[in-house]
Each structure stands twice: as structure tokens, then as C-alpha cells.
Structure 1
Amino acid sequence: MEFRMSLREMDDYYAGYQKPRIVSFPFDGRTVNYAEAGDKTKPLVLFVHGSPGSWSAFADFLRDSSLVANFHLIAPDRPGFGHSNFGRAEPSLKKQSEFLYQVLNRYPEKKAILVGHSLGGPVIAQMAMDFPDNVRGLLFVAPSIDPALEPDEWFRPLLRNFVVRTFTPISLVVSNEEIIDLKEELEMMTDGWKSLKTPVYMLQGDQDTLVPMENAYYPGKFMPDSLIHIQLLSGVNHFIPWSHPQEIIKGINYLKALP
């Protein structure tokens, strides 16, 4: 239930492949941890996982032969997950954006394609709003971005109860701390969408029961249609990175090919 991969598990998972390099460095009293693969001379792709999760949500992509040969691939652990201070939640999307920018800032000569799944979606949107000069394109995968579509889940306040927290896996406690305030966080981003000039590739399954598919149309309320490509997947649920990885690879190549 930790949703993270140990170094020993990495050895097994990447047997026969080039194992990603794990990089950790301090920032603002926290640890920034990420996995890195591919060719550093090629375009940069940054994968941002959902909630709960860790960089290992994209472990398959970091050993995909076409991606490894043609891209510089980075998958960080968001704050509170993986090995980025596991258990220490950061509900603020602005602070998460600043946290992940520290990774991009290590490669200032590059503009990155950002890939965000689920709650990783609003995080990459916030990064594009805060650091537009570092972002080449946004690939949203079943993103939670429309505040009007955020559910009011009765059980989430209960997970803050001390006794309940004691018996709840740490990753789920961190996830709850993010999601319980997500609607308000998304509302604070509303004006930022109007300023985005970054190309968007939207992937959404029409059988997603966790994130309503109508989220796919939210950027179109603020951004010109010319910047947005929407790809609806028939019969597909929320877990696109595992069920349809080829669709994500297609989106990455689409954004790479744009002028």
C-alpha cells in the first residue's frame, strides 16, 4: 500500500533493461526524488503521477525502447509520496508546482513536455501557469481539473480522525490530505487558465468512474481550440497509463512534433 518501488524491486523490474538513475536533492526542507532514463540530449518529458502514487506509476515508460531512444525521461515523486518525504503531505498545488520546478531547473536549456495523470493533471497545469518558459506542452491523462466536477465525499473528513488515521495506510492519508482541499485549490487556478499559451493534448476514457470525462473539455472554456487536441478513448476507464500506454506515447510524439 506504499505505491512505491524499492531499489531491490527496481533491479528485478528492469532486469534486461537499462535501469533508471535515481536522483535526490534537498529543497526547502524537503527531499526531491526522481527517476531518470533515456538520452539527455533529446527532448525532455516529465511524468507526474496521481494520488496516491510515485514515480513507479510510469515505470513501464522509463523502459520503453522508443521513448528511451528519443527522449530524456524524468518521473519524480510528488511531495509526500515515494521517496520525497513519504507521509508528509503538501495540499498546495502552487507549492507542488514549485517543488517539481526544481527538477526542470536542473535542465534550464530545455522546455519539457509535461505528462500528468489524475491529480498530476492540475499539478502540470499549475507548473505551466507558474513557469511557462520551461514548458513545451501539456499531456493530460484523465485529469482532475474542473472544480465544479469535484465530488463531495463524506468519508474524507473522517480520515483526519486520529484513530482512523492510525489504521489507514500512510499513502492513503497523504492522498486524502491532497484531495480533501482539491476543489478549493482548483478554484484558485481559474484565472491562470486564461493565460495559458501552451499546447494541450487531452486523453480521457469515456468509462472513467473516478474522474468525470467532462473534465476533458474544461481547458476549452479558457483556451483557444487551436491549442487543444482531445482524444476520447471508448470503453476505457481511469487507468490509462497501464491499460493504454501507447495512447500516452502517441500524445508525447504529437506534442514533440508541434513547432
Structure 2
Amino acid sequence: MSLRFMLLISTCMFAFSCKQLVYVLTDEDIKKHYKDKKTKPQLKYISYNNYHIYHAIAGNSEKPLLIFVHGAPGNWYSSLALLDDSTLQKNFRMISVDRVGFGKSNYGHAVPSIDKHVRYLEKIVKEYNHTDQPVYMVGSSYGAPIVASFATQNPFLVNELYMVSPVIDPSTEKMFWFSYMAKLSLINFWLPRSLTVTSDEKSAHRREMRKLKPHLKRIRSKTYVLMGTDDWLAHPSNFTYLQNMLVNARKPEFIMLEDEGHTILSNRPELVKDLLLKKMDY
């Protein structure tokens, strides 16, 4: 068997395995999910510069704004269980975004700059925060430093900040072998665009975290940090890093979950719900 043929087979297997890792719901899947539900979110676009940000809106427009920001890869429905919760719908106006580059928000267009994500989130808050109350923000994985950056730049606009499985410590930022492979044109051609966007974000992540580091002391909001002891993606140092950096946050709480991995938001949505509703029995 020639080396070229073996490389081709390996490439195909790698690309196929990566596609299995991307959790995708089609429009038809979403339609079926909400077929028998009493309420379903509005699905809309909002434009900012050259970006068209797709987002889901659910809940009570007379209540405080609650925004969910997913990791990489991800979609607005990464927070589906929380968006669908009737109690949260009564107490919040919830918005979950497709970050630019993912889902239906300029799919395939990588935006490694955290500041650029913050800019369109500011536009969303301005558009939907009809109560003018400070907002609640939940960021998971790579979404965590994005909401943290939002809070540093808008310290009095954020009431509560939730960083779930945060990947934010620049000193222990991981660069996986498949991120390097995704840069190869032969492999890149076969990969879902969401994975190439993820690879591009990952390549810039350490630099972006270093830029964010000196500003974390600006966070003034009530802050929760949630991590799992079995998180294979976020190094435990991310937990202690935030314990040391959130020096001005309002009574920050740090919750380490035994035997939990990286996908807390999807595996333990009830925990985030209880924290939001202040039913803290963890």
C-alpha cells in the first residue's frame, strides 16, 4: 500500500470522525422538536456591520435580559434545555445566539477577535433590553471569555455573569493535533466549516486570552464559575486562574462538580437554572 494512499485513507477517516463530533440540528429537527410544545422561540436575524447574527428569543419581554453564548463549535440550540424551561421563560427574556462563523451567522467566516464578538452582543443588548435593567450573561467554554470580555467593557451593564467550563487561562491553553491537521488544505476541504472556524479561533485563543487578562479586574458583577473535575478540554488551572483574577467581582462563587466533564450546560442545565433562580442547593 503506497504512502499516498494511506495518507488519503487517514485523511478521510479523520474528516469523517470530525463530522461526527459536530452536533447539528436541521430546520426540520427544530420543527419536530417544537411540534407539540406550547411555546417556541422566535428565530431572527440582527445585522451589525457585515455580520448577520442569527438568534433565538424566548420568554417575557418585561423581564431582565438573559443571553447565552456558546463555545466552539456550537449553535444557539446549545442552550435549548434552558430556552425551553417554562420557569425561566416567566422570569427572563432569553436570547441564544449563533456566534459569527457558526450556524446561520455568517457560517464559515472565522472571527478570532473576542472584541468583535462583544460588539455585536452589545448591539443585541441595545436592541432587546427594553427594561433597561442590567443583564444576565451565560458563556460556555470559549463563550466564557467572550461574556467575560463583555463584562469588562460594560461593568455596570451586567448584573450576573456565568462562566461554564471556561477556557480562559492563557498559560495552559491547549492546541490539539487535529487543529494543526485542519490547517492542511487536503483535510480542510473535507471538514465542516464549523470545525475550520473552531481551528482558526483556537489558533488565536492564547493571544486573545493574554489581551483579556489585565482587564478581568474590571468585572463588577455577581459571578459564577462552574467546572467539572473530569473536564478533558479546560485545564483545572482555568478554575484557580479565575479565583485569582476576579478580584473585584461581586461575591464570586466557584463551583467544582465531581465527575462532570466539559459539557455542563447540556448535561446539567438544571444547575444553571437553579443558580439563575437562586435555588442554590449544589
Q: Same fold (TM over 0.5)?
A: yes
| Aligned mates of 2:171, 2:181 — CA distance in 1 | 23
Shift in Å at residue 219 of structure 1?
2.2
Determine helix, strand or coil for the equivalent of 2:96. Answer: strand
Aligned residue number for residue 21 of structure 1: 42
Q: Which amino acid aligns with 1:62?
A: L
Give the C-alpha shift of residue 179 in structure 1: 0.9
Aligned pair partner of 1:58 in 58, 79, 101: 79
Question: Residue 127 of structure 2: SS of its match in structure 1?
Answer: coil
2:173 aligned partner = 150
Contact (CA 8 Å) 2:51, 2:106: kept in 1 or not?
yes
Instruction: Give the corresponding residue for 1:5.
Output: 25
Tell me the distance in 2 between the aligned counterparts of 1:222 and 1:133.
Answer: 18
Match of 1:197 among 205, 214, 220: 220
Query: How far did residue 162 of structure 1 move?
Result: 1.7
Distance 1:243 1:3, change over 3 A: closer
Amino acid at match of 1:175: T
C-alpha separation between the residues in 1 aligned to 2:234 and 2:175? 13
| Unaligned stretches of 5+ residues in structure 2 | 1-18
For 2:65, the equivalent position in structure 1 comes to 44
Deviation by residue 1:129-181 (Cα, 9 ceiling, x = unmatched): 12223211111110101111211334423312222210111111111111111
CA contact (8 A) 1:38 1:68 kept: yes
TM-score (norm 2): 0.85
- Contact 1:139/1:251 (<8 A) preserved: no
Q: Structure 2 vs 1, CA of residues 195 and 226 (structure 1 numbering), >3 Å: closer, same or farther?
A: closer
Residue from 135, 139, 159 that aligns with 1:116:
139
Q: Is the 8 A contact 2:223 2:250 kept in 1?
A: no
Q: CA RMSD in A?
A: 1.9
Structure 1, unaligned stretches of length 5 or more?
A: none
Q: 2:52 aligns with which of 31, 43, 49?
A: 31
Q: SS where residue 120 of structure 2 aligns?
A: helix
The CA distance in 1 between the partners of 2:128 and 2:159, in whole Å, is 13
Give the partner amino acid of 1:61: L
Residue pair 1:24, 1:32 contacting (<8 A) in 2 also: yes
**Residue 129 of structure 1 aligns with which residue?**
152
- Counting only pairs closer than 5 Å after superposition, residues 86-235 of structure 1 correspond to structure 2 as 86-108=107-129, 109-224=132-247, 227-235=251-259
Q: Which deviates the most, 147-156 or 192-201?
A: 147-156
Query: 1:181 is paired with a residue of what secondary structure?
Result: helix
**Which stretch has the larger CA shift, 224-233 or 100-109?**
224-233
1:35-75 deviations in Å (ceiling 9; x for gaps): 00011111211011110011011111111111112111110
The answer on whether the counterparts of 1:78 and 1:100 sit within 8 Å (CA) in structure 2 is no
Aligned residues: 256
Q: How far off is 1:226 after superposition?
A: 5.3
Other-structure match for 1:249: 273
Task: Give the share of equivalent positions with the same residue, in percent.
Answer: 29
Worse overlay, 222-231 or 14-23: 222-231
Residues 106, 4 of structure 1: alpha-carbon distance in 2 compared, 3 angstrom cutoff: farther
Please report the TM-score for the alignment, with normalisation by the length of structure 1: 0.93
**Matched residue type, 1:161:** L
Preserved contact between residue 179 and residue 199 of structure 2 (Cα < 8 Å): yes
